[in-house]
C-alpha cells in the first residue's frame, strides 16, 4: 500500500512543534509527521497530496523528497533501478519548482563515484551539474537503523524547489539585524492568527514580523512602528514586494531644518506615490545605512507622525508605517490614535546593531508598558529577543500587565539563541 511521498522537512532547532502544527494544518498525509531519524532539526511526513503544497510551509527551512536505498555504499546508487528512483525524485522536485542545475551535498562529493553519478543524473534529467551553485540540492547521507548489526544503507534527499523554503522573495532590503523569516512565521503561529484582528509590529525594522503575519492570513488593520525612518523605508519596500498594500510613508521632520521633531521643523513627504508597487515612494532619505550601529535612545525622534489612515474598503487592510518611540506609552498612544490592537509583535534591538546591552532593560520594560497601552484586554504580545535575562526580569516586573501563555520558546539560529515570549494582556 502506498504511503505517499516521504518528505523530510528541516527547521531551526526549537521550532519543531510549530513546524509539526503547520504541516498538520497545511498538508495531506498518510502518516503524521515524526522526527527524522538521528536529527533534532527535521521531521518526516508521508505526503499524499500535491507536493506543491509543501512549498507553502512558512516555518520550515527546506523540504526534501526522501528515497532510502538498502545498499552498502554510494557506488551502488549508479545502478539501474536505484538511479531511476533518484531521477524520479528529481522529477518530483522539478514538477513543483523548476531548477536548471543540480549539486550534491554529501561527504566525498568530489570523488569519482559522485562524478559518475553526476554524469548519469545529467544525462537522465538534462540538468547541468554545478558542484558549487547548483540549484537542485541532492543530499546523500548514511541511513539510520535501530539494529546495531544491520547496515543502515543510504538516503538520497532531493530538495523541493530551487531555493530553500526559508528564502523569501519579498526580502528586497536586507536590513542589518532583520529577523529570520521562519522564526517570524513561527511567532505569529505561536501567538495565534485571527482573521479579523488588528495587528501591530513594534520596532518593525524592515518588516519581517509584519510581512510574515500578513502572509499567514488577513488582518483587520496592520501597522508597523519604528523610530528610524530608514527602517520604515526598508519595511515599505519589503511589504510592497510581498504584494501588500502600504499607505504613503509618514511625513517626517526634515533633519536639516533644525531639531528633530515636527514642531518648528520643516516637514517633507516621504513617498507620496501610489501605495502599491511604487519604488519611487521609498527613496532613501539621508538616514545612513539602515539601522546600522545605532544605539536605542528612547524619545530621540520627537513626537511621532502618522501616515495615511486609509484602510481599503475592498481587499485587505492597507499597512500603515508610523515613526514613533515604541518604548514610550504616551508617544505610542499619541501616534496610534485609534482602536487598540489584538496582536502585537516585537523584535527589540540587540547587540551592537540596533541597541546595546546597557539600554536593554529600559528598552524591554518600556516596550512591555507601551505595548500594554495600545493592546486590547486579552490581546497578545509576541516578543523575540536575544536579551533573555533582561526579558525575564521585564516580564516578572510587568506581571500586572502581561501573563505569559507558556514558557518562552528557545530557537537556535546561526549561533544565536533568541527566545520567543507570548504574553496575554491583563
Ligand atoms: C532587531 S531590529 C528589528 C528587525 C526587524 N524585525 C526586521 O526583521 O527587520 C530592532 C528595531 O528596533 C528599532 N528601535 C530601536 N529602538 C526603538 C524605539 N525606542 N522605538 C521604536 N523603534 C526602535 C530599530 O530602529 C530597529 O529597526
CA distances from 240 to 122, 172, 233, 309 (A): 39, 10, 11, 17
Q: Are residues 101 and 231 in the same domain?
A: no
Residue 404 banded pLDDT, cuts 50, 70, 90: very high
The finding on whether 271 has its CB within 6 A of some atom of ligand 1 is no
10 inside domain: yes
Spatial separation of the C-alpha atoms in residues 382 and 405, rounded to whole Å? 10
The finding on whether 371 has its CB within 6 A of some atom of ligand 1 is no
Domain of 80, in residue numbers: 5-159
How high is the pLDDT of residue 98? 85
- Final residue in a domain of this structure, among 109, 129, 159: 159
- Counting residues of the chain whose pLDDT is more than 70, the rounded percentage is 82
Ligand 1 atom nearest residue 366's Cα: 19
Residue nearest to atom 12 of ligand 1 (CA): 203
Indicate if the pLDDT at residue 97 is higher than 90.
no
Q: Are residues 225 and 286 in the same domain?
A: yes
263 inside domain: yes
Instruction: Give the sheet arrangement for strand 101-105, strand by strand.
Output: 29-35, 42-47, 5-10, 62-69, 154-159, 136-142, 101-105, 128-129
Our measurement of the distance from residue 174's CA atom to the centroid of its chain's CA atoms, rounded to an integer in Å, reads: 13
Query: From the CA of 134, how far away is ligand 1's center (Å)?
Result: 36
Q: Which three cell numbers stand for residue 132?
A: 558549487
Query: From the CA of 178, how far away is ligand 1's center (Å)?
Result: 9
Residue 354 banded pLDDT, cuts 50, 70, 90: low
171 inside domain: no
The finding on whether 182 has its CB within 6 A of some atom of ligand 1 is no
In this predicted model, what pLDDT tens digit does every residue of 277-320 receive, in sequence order?
Answer: 332 222 222 222 223 222 222 222 232 233 333 333 344 579 99
The finding on whether 370 has its CB within 6 A of some atom of ligand 1 is no
Q: Are residues 239 and 372 in the same domain?
A: yes
- Final residue in a domain of this structure, among 125, 159, 193: 159
Task: Give the residue-averaged pLDDT of 120-145.
Answer: 94
In this predicted model, what pLDDT tens digit does every residue of 162-202 receive, in sequence order?
Answer: 999 999 999 999 998 899 999 999 999 999 999 889 999 99
Residue nearest to atom 5 of ligand 1 (CA): 205
Q: Are residues 67 and 111 in the same domain?
A: yes
Mutational test site, ligand 1, from 199, 228, 230, max ligand atoms within 8 Å of CB:
228
In this predicted model, what pLDDT tens digit does every residue of 2-35 receive, in sequence order?
Answer: 568 999 999 999 999 999 999 999 999 888 899 9
Q: Are residues 208 and 100 in the same domain?
A: no
For the domain that residue 351 is a member of, what is the CATH number?
Answer: 3.40.50.150
Task: Give the residue-averaged pLDDT of 64-69.
Answer: 95
Q: How many domains does the chain have?
A: 2
Ligand 1 atom nearest residue 326's Cα: 20
Q: Are residues 148 and 187 in the same domain?
A: no
Residue nearest to atom 10 of ligand 1 (CA): 349
Query: From the CA of 169, how far away is ligand 1's center (Å)?
Result: 22
Smallest Cα–Cα separation from 246: which of 278, 200, 286, 213?
A: 278
Residue 350 banded pLDDT, cuts 50, 70, 90: confident
The finding on whether 325 has its CB within 6 A of some atom of ligand 1 is yes
Amino acid at each position: 500500500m502506498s504511503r505517499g511521498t516521504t518528505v523530510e522537512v528541516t527547521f531551526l532547532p526549537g521550532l519543531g512543534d510549530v513546524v509539526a502544527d503547520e504541516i498538520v494544518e497545511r498538508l495531506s498525509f498518510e502518516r503524521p509527521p515524526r522526527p527524522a531519524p538521528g536529527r533534532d532539526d527535521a521531521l518526516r511526513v508521508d505526503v499524499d497530496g500535491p507536493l506543491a503544497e509543501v512549498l507553502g510551509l512558512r516555518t520550515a527551512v527546506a523540504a526534501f523528497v526522501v528515497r532510502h536505498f538498502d545498499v552498502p555504499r554510494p557506488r551502488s546508487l549508479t545502478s539501474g533501478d536505484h538511479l531511476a528512483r533518484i531521477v524520479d525524485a528529481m522529477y518530483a522536485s522539478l514538477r513543483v519548482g523548476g531548477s536548471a542545475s543540480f549539486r550534491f551535498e554529501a561527504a566525498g562529493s568530489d570523488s569519482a563515484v559522485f562524478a559518475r553519478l553526476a554524469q548519469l543524473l545529467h544525462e537522465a534529467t538534462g540538468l547541468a551539474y554545478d558542484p558549487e551553485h547548483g540549484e537542485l540540492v541532492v543530499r546523500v547521507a548514511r541511513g539510520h537503523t535501530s539494529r546495531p548489526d544491520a547496515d543502515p544503507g543510504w538516503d538520497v534527499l532531493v530538495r523541493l524547489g530551487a531555493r530553500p523554503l526559508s528564502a523569501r522573495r519579498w526580502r528586497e532590503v536586507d536590513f542589518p539585524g532583520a529577523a529570520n523569516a521562519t522564526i517570524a512565521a513561527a511567532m505569529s503561529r505561536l501567538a495565534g492568527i485571527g482573521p479579523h484582528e488588528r495587528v501591530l509590529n513594534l520596532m518593525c525594522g524592515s518588516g519581517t514580523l509584519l510581512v510574515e503575519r500578513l502572509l499567514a492570513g488577513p488582518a483587520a488593520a496592520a501597522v508597523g512602528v519604528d523610530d528610524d525612518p530608514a527602517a520604515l523605508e526598508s519595511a515599505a519596500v519589503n511589504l510592497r514586494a510581498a504584494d501588500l498594500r502600504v499607505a504613503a510613508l509618514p511625513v517626517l521632520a526634515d533633519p536639516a531644518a533644525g531639531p528633530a521633531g515636527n514642531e518648528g521643523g520643516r516637514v517633507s513627504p516621504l513617498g507620496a506615490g501610489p501605495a502599491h508597487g511604487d519604488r519611487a515612494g521609498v527613496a532613501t532619505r539621508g538616514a545612513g545605512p539602515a539601522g546600522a550601529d545605532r544605539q536605542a535612545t528612547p524619545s530621540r525622534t520627537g513626537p511621532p507622525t502618522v501616515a495615511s489612515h486609509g484602510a481599503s474598503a475592498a481587499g485587505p487592510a492597507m499597512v500603515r508605517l508610523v515613526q514613533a518611540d515604541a518604548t514610550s506609552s504616551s508617544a505610542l498612544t499619541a501616534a496610534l490614535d485609534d482602536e487598540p490592537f489584538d496582536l502585537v509583535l516585537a523584535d527589540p534591538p540587540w547587540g551592537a546593531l540596533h541597541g546595546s546591552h546597557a539600554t536593554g532593560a529600559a528598552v524591554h520594560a518600556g516596550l512591555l508598558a507601551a505595548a500594554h497601552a495600545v493592546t486590547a484586554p486579552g490581546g497578545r504580545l509576541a516578543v523575540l529577543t536575544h536579551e533573555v535575562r533582561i526579558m525575564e526580569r521585564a516580564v516578572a516586573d510587568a506581571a500586572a500587565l502581561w501573563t505569559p501563555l507558556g514558557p518562552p520558546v528557545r530557537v537556535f539560529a546561526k549561533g544565536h539563541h533568541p527566545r520567543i515570549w507570548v504574553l496575554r494582556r491583563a
